[in-house]
Amino acid sequence: MRKIYHIPGRPPLYCNSFLIITQAGNGIIIDPDAPAEEYNRLLEKENARLTHILLTHGHHDHIGSLKQLHQPGVQLWMNPGDRVMYSSRMDAVRTFGPASADLYTQLPDGSLGFEPDGLFEDGGVLHIDEVEFTTLFTPGHTKGSTCILCDGVMFSGDTLFCGDIGRTDLPGGSSDDMRSSLNKLYRLVPDDVDVLPGHEGFSNMKQEKETNPYLCSCRGRE
Ligand SMILES: [Fe+2]
């Protein structure tokens, strides 16, 4: 991996979005919520081209420029559990209720109505150039929440925050699922992995296992 850029997404939620540049000059975006021009400016600076977009989950505050960036030659990968958020407004209404579905129609580029190119597998590995992404399914915040690991870093989306966890009261959320997912992270993710959550500050697994009350409670259950 040549570089990781942190690019804040749109107000008011300012999702943490990331752009990874591989040694071969290919670009991978995690959660494309910043204006498309910001990614394009950095890709140009790195003499790189966008080839992949990976989603930690399907919420509207993580995909603001998805449709604009998902051009031919760019592969969109996500968890099948959140795929329904993208198929049609009808499906979104059916699954999440009208209020939630409306959030998607308010996106700057109206991101409903298209399909992913690839679907993550739990524990699966996706190779993009020299970078090896491992995807762990961590339902709880949404059905299709995924933690994406590569090169000693975990993009934890809205599952694990610095000192906190994501909400489980939104459509598709489940506190039981979240508890199982946190146990899984506690068990599988080594202490020296840096944690880059979907919102606010960064952390590492050691710190989270020692100080995050939701992860501390997994101690002894692994
Ligand atoms: Fe979310």
The CATH number that applies at residue 197 is 3.60.15.10
Domain span including residue 45? 3-216
Residue 186 forms beta bridges with which residues? none
- 48 within some domain: yes
Largest CA distance in the chain: 48
Q: What angle do CA 188, 177, 83 make, to 5 degrees?
A: 95
Say if residue 150's pLDDT is above 70: yes
Residue 20 banded pLDDT, cuts 50, 70, 90: very high
What mean pLDDT is predicted for residues 46-61? 94
So what's the pLDDT on residue 113?
Answer: 60
Asked whether residue 51 is assigned to any structural domain, the reply reads: yes
Spatial distance between the Cα atoms of 191 and 201, rounded to a whole number of angstroms: 17
Identify how many contiguous H helices and E strands the chain contains and give both numbers. Answer: 8, 14
Q: Is 221 a domain residue?
A: no
Asked, for residue 170, whether it belongs to a domain, the answer is yes
* CA separation for the pair 49, 42 (Å, rounded): 10
Q: Is the model's pLDDT at 136 over the cut of 80?
A: yes
Question: How many structural domains comprise the chain?
Answer: 1
More confident residue, 11 or 96: 11
Q: How far is CA 133 from CA 62, 75, 144, 155, 194, in A?
A: 19, 14, 17, 10, 14
CA 121 / ligand 1 centre spacing (Å): 20
- pTM for the full predicted model: 0.92
- Please tell me the distance between residue 74's alpha carbon and the centre of ligand 1 in angstroms: 23
Is the pLDDT at 119 greater than 70, yes or no?
yes
> What pLDDT is recorded for position 125?
98
Ligand 1 center to 178 CA (angstroms): 13
Backbone φ and ψ for 152, nearest 5 degrees, come out as 75, 15
